[in-house]
Amino acid sequence: MDPDLRKLRYFVAVAEELHFGRAAERLHIAQPVLSRQIRSLEEDLGAELFDRDRRGTLLTPAGEQLLEDTVPLLASAQALVRRVKRAAQGIPTLTIGFMPGITLTPATVLFTGRHPTVQVRLLRTSWDDQVAVLLDGRADVGIVRRPFDQRGLQVRPLFREPRVVVLPVRHRLADRSVVTVADLAFEHLLQDPDAVPEWRDVAVELRAGRRADIPVIHQVEEKLELVASGAGICVLPLSTASFYTRPDVTALRVDGLGPNEVALAWAASRRSPLVRAFAEAAAETLGRPGTADPGAGAEP
């Protein structure tokens, strides 16, 4: 029997919450109804998906495998519905996701010149959703920044650009033109350390085991507010830092910090000629040397 998508959505909610009550609230259904649906799914699959005991709810190995496979499956189902609805409107459209600091104008101008009947829509993304919008169909193609999970995606590199550290203007290092990664060893990083492995390797707070909780930050503006208040530092691509200039923070070049890689990505299952056409336009414009800050040593 083929699994029911509704049951799979219920399963994902329980797997993410690891609590039937919270999952039922999230889904706006009664907990007994949710429990029956999960039992029905287990019967369909012939496998137990959760261990339920007094300690709580945990995924079984079968449940872990189903979660890994179900998330992209549900995203593809959402994408299918969105694309069919757009096609039913009778107007060809291309939705492009883009990260802060990246200027798409050269690519969109070239693309629309070649495809004047296509309606181009732009969707601003963040580190949290730059891949999700491609997999669930909110965007047809995206300009993305590494690192990201490449599973299910077709990726085409565009260019590299330097990363900088952003500090409060009153910081002890703020009057320098350049710092080293070692200079930042005693600082608190307001992002996932895995995103800045060079800092992670020297960070005093990590070696001392006193890493503070990182607040959930969805937008660059939020991050800069925290930096300005003295809560910590952040590392940004140069174009992003240059776009979000403000008087209470400063951006410095960092010796020993690797560049940020910018790429074009789309769902690997897509065969749309419009996606391919925009990929060509982006490669011809955004992928050329000098499309990042000309004084920053950008590479193709």
CA distance 198 to 182: 9
Output the six-digit token pair for 275.
């996606």
- Say if residue 44 is in the same domain as residue 127: no
Burial bucket for residue 143 (CB in 10 Å: 0-12, 13-18, 19+): buried
> Tell me: the pLDDT tens digits for 163-204?
999 999 999 999 999 999 999 999 999 988 888 999 989 998
- Say if residue 230 is in the same domain as residue 175: yes
The reply to whether 95 falls in a domain is: yes
The reply to whether 297 falls in a domain is: no
> What is the pLDDT, as a whole number, of residue 292?
40
CATH number at residue 177: 3.40.190.10
Q: Last residue of a domain, which of 72, 104, 129?
A: 72
- Say if residue 34 is in the same domain as residue 181: no
Higher-scoring residue by pLDDT: 260, 210: 260
Domains held by the chain: number: 3
Question: In which domain, by residue range, is 112 found?
Answer: 91-158+261-285
Residue 289 pLDDT > 50:
no
- Say if residue 49 is in the same domain as residue 167: no
- Say if residue 148 is in the same domain as residue 215: no
- Say if residue 32 is in the same domain as residue 11: yes
Q: What are phi and psi of 243, to 5 degrees?
A: -70, -40
> Tell me: the pLDDT tens digits for 25-57?
999 999 998 999 999 898 889 899 998 876 788
Q: DSSP state, 182?
A: G
N- to C-terminal Cα distance for the chain? 50
Element (H, E) at 274: helix 273-285
> What is the pLDDT, as a whole number, of residue 293?
38
Q: Cis bond leading into 193, ω under 30°?
A: no
Q: Across the chain, which distance is largest between two alpha carbons, in Å?
A: 67
